[in-house]
A and B are shown apart, each in its own frame.
Chain A
Amino acid sequence: MSPEQFASTGAALKWLLGLAWLLPLAGFCIEVLGGYWTDRRSRAPAWLAVGCIGGGFVLSTIAFVTWGSATHWGAFAVVDDHHGDAHARGQSPDAAPAAVTGAQAPAAPAEHGHPHDGPPHGHDAAHASSPYAFALSGSFYNLATFGGLSIDIDYYIDSLTIVMFMMVTLIATCIHLFAMGYMSDELTDNYEDHEVHLPGGRHFHRPGRYYRFFSYLSLFCFAMLGLVLAGNIFQVFVFWELVGVCSYLLIGFYVERKSASTAANKAFVMNRVGDFGFLIGLMILWTWFGTFRFANTDPAQPGAPGLFQMVRDADGHIHEHGAGLDRAVVLNDGLGGAAVDAASGQPRSIPFWLLIAAGLGIFAGCIGKSAQFPLQTWLPDAMEGPTPVSALVHSATMVAAGVYLAGRFYPMFVPEVLLVIAYIGCITLFIGATIAIVVTDIKRVLAYSTISQLGYMMLALGVGGWFAGLFHLITHAFFKSLMFLASGSVIHGCHHVQDMQEMGGLRRKMPITAWAMLVGVIAIAGLAIPTPWMAIAFSGYHSKDAILATSLAFMSQNRQHFLLFLLPLATAGITAFYMFRLWFMTFSGKPRNQHVYDHAHESPWIMLGPLVILSVFAAVCAVGGEGGPLARMLFASEPTQAVAGAAVAGTVAVNLPGHALIHEYHTTAGIAALLAALTGAVLSYVFYGAGLVNPATIRSQLSGLHSFLIEKWEFDALYDAMFVRPVHVVARWAQGFDQKYLDGFLHATGRAVVWISKWDRKFDETVVDRAVNVVGDATYAAGASLRRLQTGRLRQYVMFIAFGVLGLFLLMFAFLPR
């Protein structure tokens, strides 16, 4: 891409996405200010919010087309002249031929029977040139400059950004529409909250908060889009926190309910724990790199590299020297050489262990945001928010932010960090899935499945499957938002009954919801019809298949990390089991609670419409698997080192699989995953669909395990014992110390002050006051005596004057020398 093209495309995308990002903010401002004064029964705020986010979707789509036509749909080798290394490494010296050959590449995979026929893809040529040449980076606005630290509002746009923008805006639009129906209870001046009991058996009454809900949603979308568009890690942090605040506001939307406000606090505090690591990572990055920018791909600014470019060269390699604690990573200057410190003239480098620490710190933030082990406990509690919020938080925005950042920051992660990510993800996905088996609250099942699926994404990123992780992020967002909205429809139809033990047979009452939910269930379970040339499947199959293929390839190279494949494989079966369990318990069989069943009704079309739209996307968004349009978009921004893989990397000596290796295991992993999913689905049918085995028997036989799972692996109890109780003990000690010593000291001081002031008062009264009075009396007496001279007789005055003059003369004669 020539610099002129870069500039024009960059400007177009910058303003399109920037506008899409700022529209919800404008919506938020109008709603939150205007909504307060307008009628509480007005739907105007909702339409405004829908318009803003829908406009964002339209702009994102235009940006998508702009990007596509500029890069020939992701297959176009962007030869950026400013790196200069293209010449050095024998690349085509002329930009134009590379562009032409690259442009023909996308046709190639489509002609093959299986699109994933080997490593030399169209995009690999681009990666060979520069890993970040596909990205358009730049700055909107300079907020502040502190010494060498420049705080900017940057943008960093690559295909991942655009895919995320489209995904977030589309899902958010659907959720906004759904919420218009779901939240219609709030369209009143006097909302009665049945969950809040006041003394005297009454319920809490308050004005409806329809406008507030939609203004929060708009702010949430603004924060998430800003996070995706951000061009530096500090800006990510700002929007990261904004996302946290919005989730806090929305989870605690029913703030009068004790459970809701506690859940909101819990989510916020848990996230702060992770953000602490994030801050440490930020400090390390700033200290050693001096910049927060991801990468600087602007041809007009050579030699100002971002973080990625400093750590990795154009081939995605890290250059190190030294060993042990002295091991350090040489920083690149973005021009093909090593960066040189301006003050000392020495080459710049960062100690290797600090790079690990920075990576782990940033990942700690992702752990909090994406509800990974050990900070996963906030997410199920976040179900206290209204269901559209759950859908938004759990699919497109908040939890996606963590995975998105882990993917975006991928070039900064060294193998040691990746291994941690993989194991964290692996533990999380297993814990989440096992708990989901026993939970009976329909939303909580989905919440634990979210945790589990996020674990899959992290696992994929950790074992070197950058594409697989992000692919699953997108597909999961669609089918999870679909399922949450469907569960919202069920809850709405059943008049806020959430326990699946009260449901059953609802398929007949709400057929559209049931079928939409089934689409989501099949998608997440990863069921497919395998055919010799390609699998006919919904989106979840493709992405989970990609993850399992990656982790199988990883295990084949690192036998000691066998758990990283076996647990996800087993969990694929568990996933199918609990998701079908949810569907069977809710929609099939006989009604368990006749009262609920009789009053259940299908939701209005404002809620079903989004369900239908999302069903379509959940089914087909990953069409074509790894040769499909979505996959190709993602491949276009995959970091180079993820494409190539690495052998015996890092002190942990893991082998990260590259594309070629992953492809070898694709078929095996696909079959294994499908078998696991089928097993889970069939078991689920046996237990809950056909009722051949009574689950209660199993439950009583495994009562210990069951209660362990019901208690969420005792995590809340563990944290209670580890953190809450010790804090209580410390607090009690502190209280005792306060009362005994600090209070005693303060009281003694107080008494001493009272005693001193008593004496001081006496001194004042006897000495100071008296002195002042004496002066005053003397002045008064002098005035009174002088007063007598003022007789008012003119002639007397004249006499005074005359005698005065005479006196002066006498004095003069007496004393002045002649």
Chain B
Amino acid sequence: MSDVGLTPYLIVAAVLFVCGIVCMATKRNAIGVLMGVELVLNGANLNLIAFSRYGQLGFDGQAIAMFVIVLAAAEAAVALAIVLNFYNNHLTVDVDQARQLNS
């Protein structure tokens, strides 16, 4: 299997990142928003891994990626708990309905 180089990785990562952003911006379902977040984080992770392989980042990139994964897990846990609570109170997971903190 031949080495494809850095560029394809960056393209895939950018696609993932944009998908995640679009998902966050368009989805009204909170779970969907969370999924978008995961996509954004994983796009960034892919960048890090790619630079660690082809750039001068070395193992630092991989270490940062590990941190991002752990952070994502923690963030998902907290966010899901908030969503659950929100559902308990409002019987919906529509983020447009979550406006109580406004004004």
Contacts and interface: CB of A to CB of B under 8 A. Distances in A.
Contacts of B102: 790-792
A798 interface: yes
Contacts of B98: 792, 794
Contact of A795 (B24, B100, B101, B103): B24
Interface string B78-103: 00000000000000000110111111
Contacts of B28: 795
B78 to A, nearest CB: 15
A796 to B, nearest CB: 9
A664 B98 CA distance: 128
A801 B102 CA distance: 19
B2 interface: no
A761 B26 CA distance: 61
Contact of B21 (A793, A794, A802): A802
Interface residues of A, number: 10
B101 A799 contact: no
Given A802-B21, A802-B25, A794 B101 contact: no
A795 B28 CA distance: 8
B25 to A, nearest CB: 5
A798 B21 contact: yes
Contact of A793 (B36, B99, B100, B103): B99
Interface in A67-114: none
B21 A795 contact: no
B25 A792 contact: no
Interface string A776-818: 0000000000000011111100110110000000000000000
A794 B103 CA distance: 15
Nearest to B95: A794
Interface in B44-103: 95-96, 98-103
Which of the four size classes fits the interface of chain B? 10 to 19
A793 to B, nearest CB: 7
B89 to A, nearest CB: 15
Contacts of B101: 792
Nearest to A799: B25
Contacts of B39: none
Contacts of A798: 21, 24-25, 33, 36
A802 B21 CA distance: 7
Contact of B33 (A791, A792, A794, A799): A794
Dominant SS at the A interface?
helix
A793 B33 CA distance: 12
Interface string B16-41: 00000100111110000100100000
A799 B26 CA distance: 10
B23 to A, nearest CB: 9
Contacts of A795: 24-28, 33, 95-96
A181 B78 CA distance: 93
A792 B99 contact: yes
A802 B20 CA distance: 10
Contacts of A802: 21, 25
Contacts of A790: 102
Interface string A256-281: 00000000000000000000000000
B30 to A, nearest CB: 8
B55 to A, nearest CB: 16
A798 B37 CA distance: 10
B79 to A, nearest CB: 11
Nearest to A805: B21
Contacts of A801: 21
Contacts of B96: 793-795
A798 B32 CA distance: 13
A721 B66 CA distance: 107
A679 B95 CA distance: 131
Q: Which of A790, A792, A795, A798 gathers most chain B CB within 10 Å?
A: A798
A795 B100 CA distance: 15
B13 to A, nearest CB: 14
Contacts of A793: 95-96, 99
B33 to A, nearest CB: 6
Contacts of A792: 98-103
Nearest to A787: B103
Contacts of B95: 793-795
A791 B95 CA distance: 12
B74 to A, nearest CB: 19
Q: Which of B36, B96, B101 gathers most chain A CB within 10 Å?
A: B96
Interface in A543-570: none
A803 to B, nearest CB: 10
A798 B28 CA distance: 12
Nearest to A802: B21
A278 B77 CA distance: 91
B75 to A, nearest CB: 15
Q: Which of A793, A799, A802 gathers most chain B CB within 10 Å?
A: A802
A405 B77 CA distance: 96
B76 to A, nearest CB: 16
A506 B89 CA distance: 111
A795 B25 CA distance: 5
Contacts of A791: 99, 102
Contacts of A799: 25
Contacts of B24: 795, 798
Q: Which of B25, B96, B100, B101 gathers most chain A CB within 10 Å?
A: B25
Contacts of B21: 798, 801-802
B27 to A, nearest CB: 8
A816 to B, nearest CB: 17
A257 B95 CA distance: 93
A794 B21 CA distance: 12
A799 B22 CA distance: 9
Q: Which of A791, A794, A801, A802 gathers most chain B CB within 10 Å?
A: A794
A792 B95 CA distance: 9
A553 B99 CA distance: 122
B71 to A, nearest CB: 16
B1 to A, nearest CB: 33
A457 B47 CA distance: 117
A714 to B, nearest CB: 99
A802 B33 CA distance: 14
Interface string A380-422: 0000000000000000000000000000000000000000000
Interface string A230-244: 000000000000000
Given A795-B24, A795-B27, A795-B95, 12 more contacts: A791-B102, A792-B99, A792-B102, A792-B103, A794-B95, A794-B96, A795-B25, A795-B28, A798-B24, A798-B36, A802-B21, A802-B25
Interface of B: 21, 24-28, 33, 36, 95-96, 98-103
Which 9 pairs across A and B sit closest by C-beta, in order of nearness? A792-B102, A794-B95, A798-B24, A792-B99, A798-B25, A802-B21, A795-B25, A799-B25, A792-B101
28 contacts: A791-B99, A791-B102, A792-B98, A792-B99, A792-B100, A792-B102, A792-B103, A793-B95, A793-B96, A793-B99, A794-B33, A794-B95, A794-B98, A795-B24, A795-B25, A795-B26, A795-B27, A795-B28, A795-B95, A798-B21, A798-B24, A798-B25, A798-B33, A798-B36, A799-B25, A801-B21, A802-B21, A802-B25
